[in-house]
Amino acid sequence: MSMTTYILRRVAWAVVASLIVLTLTFMLLYFTPDTQLAELQFQAAQAGDDPSEIGEAYESYYGYDQPIHVQYVDFMGNMLSLDWGWSETRAQPVTTAIADAIPYSMMYGVPSVIISTVLGIAIGLYSATNQYTRSDYAATFFAFFGLSIPDFWFAIILLVIFGVMLGWVPILFDTSVAVFSLENAQQLILPIIVLTLSSIASLMRYSRAEALEYVEAEFVKTAKAKGVEGRRILTRHIFRPASVPLATILVGDLLGIILVSSYLIEVVYGIPGLGMLSFRAIINQDTPLVMGTVLLPAFLTIIGNLAQDVAYTVLDPRIDYGDS
């Protein structure tokens, strides 16, 4: 099997996974009681109107009186055309609400990914080449600390210390400040620290484990015997082969950490990003907005897994693309 065929198969599986996610979402929406309809019927009953007539008009307007297969086709068409419904709590389309929230998540998410990737891999490589030294023990302790400490607890502690007690950072997130300004950097520094800590710890652990497989390899010993510079050995003979499995871990692992942590971080710091949008939609029982904020991370995860598979094949052409 050629690399092109393998990639096309992975793309096909990504499409199938997306269809499964959309189908499950439709089934959940179909069998879940409509809170907006219940509220309208309750208001109609209080006003002395017939709730059943209100229900029939509501279902006819949104097409809920159609057979399930017709509703399913309409749902899939709306998903493909990005017509994800209307958010009653925000009085705007769901896609518009998501588009407004994404930049705020990227403000701290992108710097965290860059910093954690560079530092996590660098610390892991250094720890692997200095195994059983004080530096290695310190890096290992840092990794376990970053993985073990709850993000929401660490975020609250930092906010209390640097926001309430010292007053170095604002307690409330200000959306009126310019993106590239000192004020915005000041209010984003704590979210970046919290998200970066857990990401660095995870990447450091993976990079250390992968690099240790090559530290005592024969080709590394040969390079040392020939007098090759230590930095060249680290970058060319250790990091290069270790980067293949790291690339497959990097995308999915970082996506998982960032998507999960964004809910906690944005709620603590009041950042109006995707996590906060989803949290408020759940609290307000805004079903279309909840589904939209759940579908987007699901699609990003599918795309991330696809990128992992493609990166693995591109970085290591020796891989067998057969079914085995």
Question: What tens digit of pLDDT does each residue of 241-256 get?
Answer: 777 777 766 666 666 6
Using alpha carbons only, what angle is made at residue 290 by residues 96 and 265, rounded to the nearest 5 degrees?
90
Q: Which of 249, 225, 251, 252 is nearest to 237 (CA)?
A: 225
Low-confidence ranges of the chain (pLDDT < 50): 324
- Cβ-proximal residues to 6 (8 Å cutoff; 6+ apart), any chain: 313, 321
Complete domains list, the chain, with CATH: 22-81 (no CATH), 95-315 (1.10.3720.10)
Predicted pLDDT at 321: 59
**Residue 126, SS3 per DSSP:** helix
**Is residue 159 within 8 Å of 268, Cβ to Cβ?**
yes
Predicted pLDDT at 230: 78
Rounded Cα gap, residues 238 and 217, in angstroms: 9
DSSP H helical segments within 160-181, as ranges?
A: none
Predicted pLDDT at 256: 65
Predicted pLDDT at 1: 59
Rounded Cα gap, residues 319 and 313, in angstroms: 7
What is residue 92's DSSP assignment?
E
Predicted pLDDT at 96: 92
Give this prediction's pTM: 0.78
The rounded Cα 292 to chain-centroid distance in angstroms is 14
Predicted pLDDT at 190: 92
Predicted pLDDT at 324: 43
Rounded Cα gap, residues 239 and 1, in angstroms: 28
